[in-house]
Amino acid sequence: MRETLRAEKRLPDWFMRDLVQEVLIAEIRNGRPVFYDA
């Protein structure tokens, strides 16, 4: 899932709504942290 969003590709709608994906992809584009990498 992380790599798909980082590559700006879409996940199926049943997995995550398009609106949520748009917000996450925009945040990734702007260089903001979206995922917690421990």
User: Model confidence over 3-28: pLDDT tens digits?
Assistant: 999 999 999 999 999 999 999 999 99
Residue 32 or residue 38, greater confidence: 32
Q: What pLDDT was estimated at residue 23? A: 97
Residues 6+ apart with CB under 8 A from 15: 1
Burial of 22 from C-beta contacts in 10 A (0-12 / 13-18 / 19+): exposed
What span, in angstroms and rounded, lies between the C-alpha atoms of 32 and 29?
A: 8
- pLDDT interval class at 37 (50, 70, 90): confident
